[in-house]
């Protein structure tokens, strides 16, 4: 934001404050917060010019509050700027991972702007290697090895910059018997993994959420567990909560799966149902929005149209198609409100899909990238990975088309970068179901045309 624009906002804010004072404005704290919201992020080192208006009994107090907010914003900018490297790489394809990895890999954005990629699947078994992406050079360098190699493990950024990798499948097939209890810590100082405790229950495809106190809550594919960084051990703390898990602002853990939504409050022995989906689904995305609402997008009909199914040995729902009809891909989206516990329609994708990513952008929109859908939507048959992208608007609760990915992919990762663009890597390609992608792409959510391949 330039100086003239910032000064204009400050003057407008002070005029607005004077009017509120004349009308018995609320408390100083509330007023200062509103001014801060109008100012937005301030560049490091900027000193705004503030013009006091006479006639306001709290002008001096307001000035002091604004100066404090400006100093805090500048300090925050300096701190972030010293830790985060903005990528100057062009939009489009940029480099490749050393090892192709599709479903079940994990990608974690680090405080300094780098991205850690670990585990995954490459056709004949799980991947044990890990790589670091550099936002300045766009290159990948090896950084440690998981032992045993595994996919569908969770990877959680901890306070202090280390990453906890827990569970996953360690065999050639994704059977429950191949799930492991192993957990490791990746240290950015050494670039290596060291073992830390063991899960109480072997699991894979689960969620792991960093709690405010630094512990990590593991949910899905078994009872809930907590990893304590002080002891390096796991302990069981609650019941089973399945589906994509998100942590609400009030501290509760929300699980969205099948037909319902359940919430667990830390310390409780049970999880309570807090809502019913308008349309039952699996393999969907569940994204926490600012303010505590949860956006559920896409997925597979549960069970699919014209299908039957049952529970297999590891607790997953196994769909059995009838008459050659594959599972339906849902285009619908739903929005859960924590104040009412109700879902409301939130628009529809242009094409139903699974295996997509949903990323909250700095402006509050949600970016949906790639995924697998049904080619023949009339006869509901055939699968294909999409290059298409869509943007969901939280104001209108509708989707709109966005620039396509350079390469079609599903089961990939999408990491929001410091400059508002998105790093997209891994996954499976379009032409061959066993095409595991090594390509990496920097995607611009505001691009108006299809990105072009870069050298």
The whole-angstrom distance between residue 179's C-alpha and the CA centroid of its chain comes to 24
Q: What is the pLDDT of residue 303?
A: 59
Contact 24, 62 (CB under 8 A): no
Q: Whats the size of the chain, residue-wise?
A: 455
In whole angstroms, how far apart are CA 448 and each of 62, 325, 401, 451? Answer: 42, 36, 10, 9
pTM of the model: 0.74
**Angle between the N-to-C axes of helices 28-39 and 59-83, in degrees from 0 to 180, rounded to the nearest 10:** 50
Mean pLDDT per 10-residue section of the chain, whose length is 455 residues: 42 43 38 41 40 35 36 31 57 87 90 94 87 93 94 95 96 86 97 96 93 92 93 91 85 85 85 90 91 93 48 33 55 94 95 92 95 62 72 96 90 93 88 72 80 38
Among the CATH numbers 3.90.1150.10, 2.120.10.80, 2.30.30.90, 3.40.640.10, which is that of 104-240? 2.120.10.80
Tokens 């002091």 appear where? 64
Residue 312, pLDDT score: 32
266 forms beta bridges with none
Strand partners, 170: none
Token pair, residue 356, equals: 């997509």
Does the bond joining 303 to the residue before it have cis omega, within 30 degrees of 0?
A: yes
Distance CA 332, CA 346 (A): 8
Nearest CA-CA partner of 390 in 426, 425, 347:
347
CA distances for 118 relative to 108, 131, 346, angstroms: 9, 7, 34
Beta bridge partners of 216: 210, 227
pLDDT score, position 238: 82
For residues 411 and 120, is the Cβ–Cβ distance under 8 A?
no
Nearest to 319 by CA among 18, 335, 329, 66: 329
Both tokens of residue 292?
């505590």
The pLDDT of residue 108 is 96
Provide Rg for the chain, Cα atoms: 24
Q: Which residue has the tokens 């002008």?
A: 59
What sign does the dihedral 258-264-268-273 (CA atoms) show?
negative
The residue written with tokens 């663009």 in the block is: 421
**In the chain, ranges of CATH 2.120.10.80 domains:** 104-240
Say how far apart CA 288 and CA 400 lie, in whole Å.
Answer: 20
Task: Give the integer Cα–Cα distance in Å for 360 and 392.
Answer: 9
Can you give the pLDDT at residue 20?
38
Q: Are 425 and 413 in contact (CB under 8 A)?
A: yes
3-state secondary structure of 310: strand
């Amino acid at each position: 934001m330039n100086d003239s624009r910032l000064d204009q906002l400050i003057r407008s804010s002070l005029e607005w404050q004077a009017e509120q004072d004349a009308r018995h404005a609320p408390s100083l704290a509330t007023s200062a917060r509103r001014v801060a919201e109008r100012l937005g992020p301030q560049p490091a080192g900027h000193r705004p010019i503030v013009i006091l208006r006479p006639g306001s009994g709290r002008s001096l107090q307001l000035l002091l509050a604004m100066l404090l907010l400006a100093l805090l914003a500048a300090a925050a900018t300096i701190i972030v700027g010293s830790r985060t490297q903005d990528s100057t790489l062009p939009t489009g394809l940029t480099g490749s991972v050393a090892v192709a990895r599709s479903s079940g890999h994990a990608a974690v954005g680090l405080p300094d702007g780098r991205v850690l990629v670990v585990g995954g699947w490459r056709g004949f078994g799980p991947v044990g290697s890990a790589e670091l992406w550099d936002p300045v050079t766009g290159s990948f360098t090896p950084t440690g090895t998981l032992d045993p190699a595994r996919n569908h493990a969770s990877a959680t950024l901890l306070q202090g910059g280390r990453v906890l990798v827990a569970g996953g499948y360690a065999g050639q097939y994704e059977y429950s018997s191949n799930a492991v209890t192993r957990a490791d810590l990746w240290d950015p100082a050494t670039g290596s993994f060291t073992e830390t405790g063991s899960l109480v229950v072997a699991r894979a495809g689960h969620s792991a959420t960093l709690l405010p106190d630094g512990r990590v809550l593991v949910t899905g594919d078994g009872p809930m567990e907590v990893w304590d960084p002080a002891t390096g051990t796991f302990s069981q703390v609650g019941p089973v909560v399945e589906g994509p898990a998100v942590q609400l602002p009030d501290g509760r853990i929300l699980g969205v799966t099948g037909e319902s939504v359940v919430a667990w409050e830390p310390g409780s022995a049970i999880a309570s149902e807090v809502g019913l989906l308008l349309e039952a689904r699996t393999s969907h995305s569940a994204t926490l929005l600012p303010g505590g609402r949860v956006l559920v997008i896409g997925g597979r009909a549960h069970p699919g149209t014209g299908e039957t199914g049952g529970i297999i040995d590891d607790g997953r729902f196994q769909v059995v198609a009838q008459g050659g009809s594959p599972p339906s891909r849902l285009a619908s989206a739903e929005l859960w409100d924590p104040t009412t516990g109700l879902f409301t329609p939130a628009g529809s994708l242009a094409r139903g899909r699974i295996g997509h990513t949903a990323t909250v952008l700095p402006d509050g929109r949600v970016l949906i990238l790639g995924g697998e859908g049904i080619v023949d939507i009339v006869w509901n048959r055939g699968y294909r990975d999409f290059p298409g992208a869509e943007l969901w608007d939280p104001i209108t609760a509708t989707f709109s088309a966005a620039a396509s990915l350079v390469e079609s992919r599903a089961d990939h990762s999408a990491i929001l970068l410091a400059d508002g663009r998105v790093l997209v890597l891994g996954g499976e390609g379009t032409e061959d179901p066993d095409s595991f992608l090594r390509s990496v792409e920097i995607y611009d959510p505001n691009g108006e045309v299809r990105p072009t391949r870069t050298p």
